[in-house]
A and B are shown apart, each in its own frame.
Chain A
Amino acid sequence: MGKYITKRILLALVTAFVVASATFFIMNMVPGGPFLGEKAVTPAAQEALEAKFGLDKPLSEQYTTYMNDLLHGDLGPSLKKRGRTVNDIIATKFPVSAKLGGMAILIAFFVGVPLGSYAAFHRGKLIDNIIILFSTAGIAIPSFLSSTLLMYFLSAQWGLLPSKGLNSPACYIMPVIALALHPTSYIARLMRSSMLDVMGQDYMRTARAKGVSQVKSIFKHALRNAILPVVTYLGPLTAQLMTGSFIIEKIFVIPGLGSEFVGAITSRDYPLIMGTTIFLAMFIITLNVIVDILYAVIDPRIKLK
């Protein structure tokens, strides 16, 4: 297992390096480099700016400086928000997003897994079909649609819930539901097919032949095997929730990193785009490593791979 985890961590480091380098070179496609943007400025001001951000130096030197800063956790200043660094912005905005995302993951997991298993146990019955219907529909709704529809009905039409901000607990309901809808549906479907697969396995027959009760065989023998695909999905899920949060935070006017990121795209605050991308990418990569380790804990066979 140690070898497996070392391998995963090494792979994550390489990925992090690739992502950071890619980000740097992609951002250099912007005329004048990320710290200038395409805004027309006077030649004098431009020179001053170039000197300030080191843009007058050759690209290779800029790259080393940038990577060096990155290693020290310095993501540079924001272009549009005078006097604030990207680190500063992330430190204040990320916790808000993480809280929303965390709640959505918990809902997706603790609703999706039981729902999918329940459907599998009642395969072919009415309840199974209802769960399939809803989860299939849930997968086909992008988060910007679920959130706008929720907002239109629950807030604009019926006035049940506040539509903006995060000032009261009720404010969390709509964004979290909108965020969790797609992953919940996906996990339910994944869990259902994986549970059906496991229930047809020989070792489930062995358990029955031993006289193990149905409830116990589900919890001890089936669940741990069936949940493996869901665990693998947790990595991509966080990435997906994050992109969902870009839109949902924008729609519900939530002061998180997502809306900050979208704002940065619209206002072309390139250092902020770059810094947020790298931060989120590292966050996802780290989470992926954690998920990989979790997977190895649940599935002892992983040592062989």
Chain B
Amino acid sequence: MTAENKEKKNTNNILSLQLKVDDFLPASAEEKQAVVKERESVSFFKDGIRRFRRNKIAMAALIAVILIMLLAFIVPMFYPYSYDAQMKGSERLAPMQYSETELERIAAGESVFPHLLGTDQNGRDYAIRVLMGARVSLTVGIVASAIVLLIGSTYGAVAGYFGGKLDLIMMRFVDILYTVPDVLIIILLASTLKYPLESLAQMPGFSWIQTIGPNMISMFLVFGLLYWVGMARIVRSQVMILKQSEYVTAAKALGAGNGRIIKKHLLTNCIGTLIVTTTLQIPSSIFTESFLSFLGLGVQAPMPSLGSLASAALNGLQSYPYRLFAPAFMIFIIILSFNLLGDGLRDAFDPKLKN
């Protein structure tokens, strides 16, 4: 009781010393409102973007991705050398070294762009080859991820939305594909698909196959065939949760068709998941591409890829280690920055997806 008594004494003191009649006048609504510091209400996306921007690592990764994109897609357009031009007499130059003809031109007062990373045994500028390799790797990664996104999200959404027997059959199929050792099948397809593709390229209207390269197409095919199952599983489980929500019931009650509900309500609501999964798919596709190219099953010469550049550099590792380090560093940075970007996006937009 003593403590309570003490408190009471305190209150009495306050009472006798400080209180005025005015204090007990009712407060107005405005006065009441002024005390409340309303936290500004933000939309899901604004909130996500705010969280993302506060994440320094993710922001750095985003900047790195943009820089890599510029280097791979914009810079080669203005680069004074071409990736497949073989310069006679400029073979095997060291970084920043000039060939004799180039030295003569410099002596004559011409300005010659330096070979930043030297040239290869065929006299091709190595720096532009690395940049083109990055372009190829990025293209494969992005296109493959887009294919995966398209197939996976459609398949997953349909299975999850309709449920029942259809879902059961569709998911059994996914289960089987999931346990198929994909890399083996990829190698198998990559080493055999070129034959039917090459004969297809002979047919009228299919000459574009030759332009893109049968290997590249077989790689896309392989990704499209096998890699979408993970995406399909994620989208399906999201859709299954979402389809039980009230707004879907409301849309159904208003007579919206299935296609419309999937497109308008379900897919837009798992867009966070889609963005994150796709971003994380890009580095993993690049990983596979560089692996295949290293084995000689990737893009075709003279088109360089980071994997094939690294593979080619292996022979001259003792004398030209930088020829390995340059594409190696490029792959490392590309995969690292996409991974970190994906992690950052996930933390900002889709914290549930963590595992």
Q: Please determine whether B181 and A19 come into contact, CB atoms closer than 8 angstroms.
A: yes
Q: Please determine whether A229 and B355 come into contact, CB atoms closer than 8 angstroms.
A: yes
Chain A residues within an 8 Å CB radius of B317: 148, 151-152, 156
Chain A residues within an 8 Å CB radius of B184: 243, 277, 280-281, 284
Cα-based distance from A197 to B354 in the complex (angstroms): 9
Q: Please determine whether B188 and A27 come into contact, CB atoms closer than 8 angstroms.
A: yes
Q: Please determine whether B295 and A148 come into contact, CB atoms closer than 8 angstroms.
A: no
- Whether a CB of chain B sits under 8 angstroms from the CB of A30 is yes
- Whether a CB of chain A sits under 8 angstroms from the CB of B139 is no
- Whether a CB of chain A sits under 8 angstroms from the CB of B297 is yes
Chain B residues within an 8 Å CB radius of A290: none
Q: Nearest chain A CB to B221's CB is how many angstroms away?
A: 11
- Whether a CB of chain B sits under 8 angstroms from the CB of A78 is no
Q: Please determine whether A288 and B188 come into contact, CB atoms closer than 8 angstroms.
A: no
Given A152-B317, A193-B354, A265-B187, verify A285-B179 contact (CB < 8 Å).
Answer: yes
Q: Please determine whether A288 and B179 come into contact, CB atoms closer than 8 angstroms.
A: yes
- Chain B, Cβ-Cβ closest to A261: B187
Cα-based distance from A281 to B296 in the complex (angstroms): 22
Q: Nearest chain A CB to B259's CB is how many angstroms away?
A: 31
- Whether a CB of chain B sits under 8 angstroms from the CB of A137 is yes
Q: Please determine whether B188 and A140 come into contact, CB atoms closer than 8 angstroms.
A: no
Chain A residues within an 8 Å CB radius of B291: 142, 144, 243, 247
- Whether a CB of chain B sits under 8 angstroms from the CB of A46 is no
Cα-based distance from A194 to B296 in the complex (angstroms): 38
A-B contact pairs, 8 of them (CB 8 A): A15-B180, A26-B192, A31-B195, A38-B195, A139-B339, A142-B307, A265-B297, A277-B184
- Whether a CB of chain A sits under 8 angstroms from the CB of B328 is yes
Task: Choose among B179, B295, B328, B331 the residue that contacts A15 (Cβ–Cβ < 8 A).
Answer: B179
Q: Nearest chain A CB to B28's CB is how many angstroms away?
A: 44
Q: Please determine whether A149 and B179 come into contact, CB atoms closer than 8 angstroms.
A: no
Query: Chain A 145-185 against B: per-residue CB contact (8 Å), 1 yes, 0 no?
Result: 10011011000100000000000000000000000000000
Q: Which of B312-340 contact A (CB under 8 A)?
A: 314, 317-318, 321, 324, 328, 331-332, 335-336, 339-340
- Whether a CB of chain A sits under 8 angstroms from the CB of B73 is no
Chain A residues within an 8 Å CB radius of B328: 145, 148-149
- Whether a CB of chain A sits under 8 angstroms from the CB of B294 is yes
Task: List chain B positions with a Cβ less than 8 A from chain A.
Answer: 175-176, 179-185, 187-189, 191-193, 195-196, 283, 287, 290-291, 294-297, 307, 310-311, 314, 317-318, 321, 324, 328, 331-332, 335-336, 339-340, 354-355
Chain B residues within an 8 Å CB radius of A136: 336, 339-340
Task: Choose among B295, B314, B339 the residue that contacts A140 (Cβ–Cβ < 8 A).
Answer: B339
Chain A residues within an 8 Å CB radius of B180: 15, 18-19, 22, 281
Chain B residues within an 8 Å CB radius of A151: 317
Q: Please determine whether A140 and B283 come into contact, CB atoms closer than 8 angstroms.
A: yes
Cα-based distance from A128 to B44 in the complex (angstroms): 30
Q: Nearest chain B CB to A141's CB is how many angstroms away?
A: 6
Cα-based distance from A247 to B288 in the complex (angstroms): 12
- Whether a CB of chain B sits under 8 angstroms from the CB of A44 is no
Query: Chain A 122-140 against B: per-residue CB contact (8 Å), 1 yes, 0 no?
Result: 0000000000000011011
Chain B residues within an 8 Å CB radius of A89: none
- Whether a CB of chain B sits under 8 angstroms from the CB of A11 is yes
Q: Please determine whether B354 and A142 come into contact, CB atoms closer than 8 angstroms.
A: no
- Whether a CB of chain B sits under 8 angstroms from the CB of A12 is yes
Q: Please determine whether A284 and B181 come into contact, CB atoms closer than 8 angstroms.
A: yes
Q: Please determine whether B181 and A197 come into contact, CB atoms closer than 8 angstroms.
A: no
Q: Please determine whether B324 and A30 come into contact, CB atoms closer than 8 angstroms.
A: no
Q: Which of A49-86 contact B (CB under 8 A)?
A: none
- Whether a CB of chain B sits under 8 angstroms from the CB of A262 is yes
8 further interface pairs, Cβ-Cβ under 8 Å (given A142-B335, A274-B188):
A26-B185, A38-B195, A139-B335, A140-B339, A144-B311, A194-B355, A239-B182, A247-B294
Chain B residues within an 8 Å CB radius of A141: 332, 335
Q: Nearest chain A CB to B323's CB is how many angstroms away?
A: 11
Cα-based distance from A18 to B176 in the complex (angstroms): 8
